[in-house]
Amino acid sequence: MADKLKEIEIDKVTWKSIREDGLDLDYAVAIPREKANILYGELEKTLQYFTGDLSKIKVFGKIHPLPRQQVAYGDPGITYTYSGITVPALPWPTPVLAIRDLLFKLKGILYDFVLVNKYRNGNDHMGEHRDNEPELDPKYPIASVSLGQERVFVLKHKDTRKPGPNRKQIPPG
């Protein structure tokens, strides 16, 4: 697999960008479909998702099962805390390292941690969140690699929750 991703000619990857207030996003289809499918199959064979307490989150003091499968990999000793759980970074599996290497070639950043989310079906999801945990270094961009079926990725300005002309109280009736 690593060889397959190494074949990608990074100079030929076409990037697009969105720059808005509070948003600085570059995106591309960097992994051609055939390679992406092979990589997905390899990940399916290799990854084992967290179970037990590591597959639950705490929201407003209540424990809920995660509405997706999750596992984390990274350099030794790294942990990541969010929504009331602390997940340990397991040692990098080969196909995940191949993605890390590709990101290094594309962006010159050697990532030290990844949280893998698997959405088993259309009901699995990720809730609104800000990725502002203290472990995340704001100097480095978050990289997101999406494999499998097409899914909707929604980006919202943090102020959309504030009161404003588009937010009105609706009386009952």
CB of 80 to ligand AKG, least distance (A): 10
Q: Tell me if 62 is assigned to a ligand binding site.
A: yes
Q: Are 145 and 98 in contact (CB under 8 A)?
A: no
With respect to ligand AKG, which residue has the nearer C-beta, 75 or 135?
Answer: 135
Question: Residues 155, 43, 97, 74: what is their CA dihedral angle, to the nearest 10 degrees?
Answer: 70
Q: Tell me if 51 is assigned to a ligand binding site.
A: no
Query: Which stretches of the chain bind ligand AKG, using CB under 6 A?
Result: 115, 117, 126, 131, 144, 146
With respect to ligand AKG, which residue has the nearer C-beta, 24 or 131?
Answer: 131
CB of 142 to ligand AKG, least distance (A): 7
With respect to ligand AKG, which residue has the nearer C-beta, 6 or 160?
Answer: 160
Q: Tell me if 117 is assigned to a ligand binding site.
A: yes
Question: Residues 74, 1, 66, 124: what is their CA dihedral angle, to the nearest 10 degrees?
Answer: 150
CA separation (Å) from 28 to 5, 69, 103, 155? 15, 25, 12, 16
Gap between the Cα atoms of 69 and 124, Å rounded: 8
Q: Which residues are annotated as a binding site?
A: 60-62, 80-82, 117, 119, 129
